[in-house]
Structure 1
């Protein structure tokens, strides 16, 4: 059995602030909206965004994962070493303020938890994003499984190095195991001495949804949606989102990772699912929490189109706050790819 090069559990609580802010670009929002097939007008047109009370284009729900990948790179490349591949399993977005074009976001990164289940390490990374006002706009929790060479072909690291884009380090059990310089990035409290100031906007703003609270009851179903994915969609998402993992576009590396074929990014399918809910709402800013547990993957073959079918159901309602919880089901080739997915929404 191959052991990780460091005691990962001993790193719980390791945290740092990203070296630079991430500026949310107008065209980047449009690029990402196209990549996740979200054509709500507020992601594309300033006039449409203004009609719903927004001061700029609104970023899709999962857009902030782009900034998180950049901020987390140091964690995966110099701190959490000892794994050949990381596989995403759970994702939670907590929204406190809509992310708009022109926002400057700073991410505080923390290794929040490590669990060992069935011989595998499950690592949870917490990203706390603050904007130029100093308020928390989103908190993102990402759980991944650290996979070592015993579970994948021994040649996967070499194969990835031959095909991956330049400027990206490949995780390796033999790579920079020492955390030289990493401890220097640790801060006592990455937000402030008194704790983060969560923006109240997402929970106090009057939502402008096309669905009114009086129109829904527990058990109501959302109209289904089928999203289609090609290899071109996967390559485009990889470039737009910065997820360079070749299992999403290279047959050989996918096979070495033990996969039946190239698979869609988990975050891409989550983005499709978020757009499914916000399209039903009519106001993307009315979504306050989105959580997904991935249970399977969407295979996208070279000679055919992959698809994901989304359905939804109202799980619960709260008349006092005019909120509801929506359960989302996503299936591909007859398999459930979301083990559990819920969206907390506010209604007009």
Structure 2
């Protein structure tokens, strides 16, 4: 399969920046729709009175909700800048929450190609999304790392198969622009983030978490109750529609096998959303998380008949008395394999 440009050329575009057109208004029903998709039934995502009791001005969005506006905003980057690859595999995700997002918030999404690293002949590409609110303050930052794969090891049939079944107007492998358009974009000076410090949310920093336990009740080594989550093919199709991630490896057997997978697999972001809900069910306050980082090491196979199962467990790794925060290690297993190579979350307590 021929590439539009040589993959290593993408490294020269590190720092490429733009602000997504328009804004994203966080809708109340979209929050509920997304919470259902990641099986997160914390009352603050569903009931306005429950959210108000925790100190929120509206229905609370799940931590990984920002992946929705990011998916749309990043499309241009993968059509004009991060090109020359035949496939992308998600490998790492970091969420930094400075202020919990609620219904009615209007988000501005920035996109930056923040890093390209070559390891073992493959490119690890990191895209950073910065979300600011109506006041111009940063409420959330998300770092997404994917592995760009080109040439050998990619079945040339996959492109044709995907084109025949994908939603019209969506190209999951980038390359939505002609070679001439890409060349013109590359000929222009690389746009950079405007100078000046970003303002972090003061309201978020001042908020007192409404956790079910106080910091003094925590102990290093304390274990979280195990959660067993089940996902079906229907869950995967639902998540694809809600999140905007239409990659057919999550719902089409043939494309999954052309991609070198044993069968259809669950979205990495879906497994992270389930993990975030697992933690907030224990802490009692989804907005108390300040950082959530996951390195994916394997995948969850979702059989057409029996579905897939993921077991989540956790343990308090460390405590910071000055910040009144705890770092929790999260373990996720499916089919006897760890699907999270390394996963931690930092939570502030009352």
> What interval of TM-score do these two structures reach, taking the shorter chain for normalisation?
over 0.9
Whether the aligned pair in 2 keeps the contact of 1:157 and 1:172 (CA below 8 Å) is no
Tell me the SS of whatever aligns to 1:317.
strand
Mapping of residues 15-164 of structure 1, within 5 Å: 15-164=17-166
287, 295, 301: which one pairs with 2:289? Answer: 287
Structure 1 gaps, min length 5: none
TM-score, normalization: structure 1? 0.95
Tell me the SS of whatever aligns to 1:158.
helix
1:208-233 per-position Cα deviation (integer Å, ceiling 9, x unaligned): 10022121111110010000000000
1:180 has 2:184 as partner = yes
1:10 has 2:12 as partner = yes
Whether the aligned pair in 2 keeps the contact of 1:82 and 1:171 (CA below 8 Å) is no
Q: Distance in 1 between matches of 2:144 and 2:271?
A: 15
1:286 deviation in Å?
A: 0.5
Structure 2 gaps, min length 5: none
1:321 deviation in Å?
A: 1.7
Tell me the SS of whatever aligns to 1:64.
helix
Partner residue of 1:298? 300
1:186 deviation in Å?
A: 5.9
Tell me the SS of whatever aligns to 1:180.
helix
Distance 1:173 1:209, change over 3 A: closer
Tell me the SS of whatever aligns to 1:289.
strand
Distance 1:155 1:213, change over 3 A: same
1:179 deviation in Å?
A: 4.5
1:250-289 per-position Cα deviation (integer Å, ceiling 9, x unaligned): 0000000000000000000000000111111111110000
The CA RMSD measured in Å over matched residues stands at 1.8
Distance 1:51 1:320, change over 3 A: same
Whether the aligned pair in 1 keeps the contact of 2:295 and 2:340 (CA below 8 Å) is yes
Number of equivalent positions: 346
Q: Distance in 1 between matches of 2:188 and 2:220?
A: 51
Distance 1:60 1:32, change over 3 A: same
TM-score, normalization: structure 2? 0.95
